């Protein structure tokens, strides 16, 4: 009953080869077997299409020959057998035959048999680069299926058991696929209704009219599709479909139905207070530079804007001014007065962002290993919880780059404006 798997090696290939060739794992530890066959300190290591004494060097020379510098160096696979089945010689022989049939005509392979567990198991290290033509092994679904098929056939030839139901977990997989299909429909209906609604209540009323049922199951908010009998947690839809996000989307999308647009969205927050500081000459450094420039180009007006009708082109132009507003708000939020302050804040934000991205990726990895839809949903919820902060940090980093790139230019333009102003006064 051999279980097989294969995954990519992206780090040090020599470290992986050292692991699978570890003498403590490959030296026979079954004393009875060693006595019976008279074999002691016998290593079960075979190299196919590469040198036994230096397989790593051989594989790397192949990559150099074909100028292959891609991230995936090799593939690490295993072939695990049922406890108590087979002998080390038999298990190793099956592993070598499996590797020769699958990879022997094009790739370098290291095959080892580990005996340190209750069950014997083979390891395969396959060079991702072919020594024949330089083409790469991709480890597709077909490759993994072929590996399992060859392994099962060889097990039967040697009288070992095989998994009679290779579609283990198919039911759960089908349930998951069905759930995902209905989730897409739910999200699609939500999106269409949100675009047509002026109030959040209208969204939920319209969804109910379409046959959807909202209910609490085990203290979790769920939605039931009219053609699917199982409740689906709202969290499985993603953060855009909770109540607060839907409410925000309704308000945002509803603005396009408004004939008049004030433009306040694109004005600097707390503008009266900031403008007073500017007039009182209490701003210093790049705060003064940016506020002055914001006033000059009109994104921070000196008086309250009256509602007025704008064209689509004007609205698009206003949206482009968001970055200027973000720059001023960032500087006041974090009390930034110089480019050094910008650099420090950006560095701190980048470190925090890297940590959050790593944690989110860990959640996605855990989700990929789950079969149960509930567990997958829980890991998805944990992963999406990091998203708002990640978006905020990315926005701040982008804004910092914007400020650094344009500060010198704005200072030069302000100097030119002052010079022109002084020149005009002298001419008068």
Please state, in angstroms and rounded to a whole number, the distance separating the CA atoms of residues 201 and 148: 53
Q: Where residue 104 falls among pLDDT bands split at 50, 70, 90?
A: confident
In 3D space, the residue among 208, 210, 233 whose CA is nearest the CA of residue 379 turns out to be 233
Looking at domain 3-157, its CATH class is alpha beta
Output the average pLDDT for the chain.
Answer: 76
Is the pLDDT at 350 greater than 60? The verdict is: yes
pLDDT of residue 89: 87
- HSE-CB at 307 with a 13 A cutoff on CA atoms is 5
Output the CA angle 242-247-251, nearest 5 degrees: 150
Burial letters 278-315, b for 16+ CB under 10 A, else e: beeeebeebbbbbbbbbbeeebbeeeeeeeeebeeeee
Neighbours of 334 (CB within 10 A): 15
pLDDT of residue 186: 92
pLDDT of residue 78: 80
Mean pLDDT over 171-182 rounds to: 70
Mean pLDDT over 76-82 rounds to: 84
Domain with CATH 3.30.930.30 in the chain: 3-157
Please state, in angstroms and rounded to a whole number, the distance separating the CA atoms of residues 64 and 195: 55
pLDDT of residue 143: 84
Lowest pLDDT segment from 39-53, 207-221, 353-367, 381-395: 39-53
Q: Where residue 283 falls among pLDDT bands split at 50, 70, 90?
A: confident
pLDDT of residue 351: 93
Q: Where residue 423 falls among pLDDT bands split at 50, 70, 90?
A: low
The full DSSP string for 243-302 is HHHHHHHHHHHHGGG-S-B--GGGSPTTHHHHHHHHHTT---HHHHHHHHHHHHHTSS-S
CB 237 within 8 A of CB 187: yes
Mean pLDDT over 404-426 rounds to: 72
pLDDT of residue 376: 83
């Amino acid at each position: 009953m051999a279980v097989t798997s294969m995954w990519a090696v992206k780090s040090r290939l020599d470290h992986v080869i050292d692991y699978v060739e570890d003498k403590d794992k490959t030296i026979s530890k079954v004393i009875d077997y060693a006595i019976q066959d008279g074999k002691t300190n016998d290593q079960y290591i075979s190299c196919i299409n590469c040198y036994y004494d230096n397989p790593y060097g051989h594989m790397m020379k192949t990559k150099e020959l074909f100028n292959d510098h891609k991230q995936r160096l090799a593939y690490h696979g295993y072939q695990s057998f049922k406890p108590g089945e087979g002998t080390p010689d038999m298990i190793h022989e099956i592993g070598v035959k499996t590797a020769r049939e699958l990879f022997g005509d094009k790739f370098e392979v290291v095959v080892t048999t580990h005996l340190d567990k209750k069950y014997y198991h083979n390891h395969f290290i396959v060079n991702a680069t072919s020594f024949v033509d330089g083409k790469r092994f991709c480890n597709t679904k077909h490759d993994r299926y072929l590996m399992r098929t060859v392994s099962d056939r060889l097990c039967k030839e040697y009288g070992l058991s095989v998994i009679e139901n290779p579609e283990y977990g198919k039911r759960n997989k089908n349930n998951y696929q069905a759930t995902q299909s209905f989730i897409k429909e739910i999200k699609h209906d939500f999106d269409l209704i949100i675009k047509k609604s002026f109030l959040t209540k209208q969204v939920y009323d319209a969804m109910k009219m379409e046959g959807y049922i909202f209910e609490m199951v085990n203290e979790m908010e769920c939605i039931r599709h009219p053609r699917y009998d199982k409740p689906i947690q709202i969290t499985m839809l993603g953060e855009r479909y909770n109540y607060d996000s839907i409410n925000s989307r309704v308000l945002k999308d509803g603005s396009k139905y408004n004939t008049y647009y004030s433009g306040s969205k694109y004005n600097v927050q707390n503008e009266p207070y900031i403008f007073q500081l500017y007039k009182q000459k209490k701003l210093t450094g790049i705060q003064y530079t940016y506020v002055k420039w914001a006033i000059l180009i009109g994104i921070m007006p000196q008086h309250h804007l009256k509602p007025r009708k704008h064209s689509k082109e004007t609205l698009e132009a206003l949206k482009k001014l968001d970055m200027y507003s973000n720059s001023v708000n960032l500087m006041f939020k974090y009390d930034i007065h110089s480019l050094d302050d910008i650099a420090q804040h950006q560095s701190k934000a980048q470190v925090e962002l890297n940590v959050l991205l790593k944690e989110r990726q860990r959640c996605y990895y855990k989700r990929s290993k789950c079969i149960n839809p509930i567990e997958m949903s829980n890991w998805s919820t944990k992963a999406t919880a990091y998203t708002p902060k990640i978006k905020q940090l990315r926005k701040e980093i982008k804004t910092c780059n914007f400020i650094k790139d344009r500060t010198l230019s704005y200072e030069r333009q302000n100097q030119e404006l002052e010079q022109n102003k002084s020149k005009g006064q002298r001419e008068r």
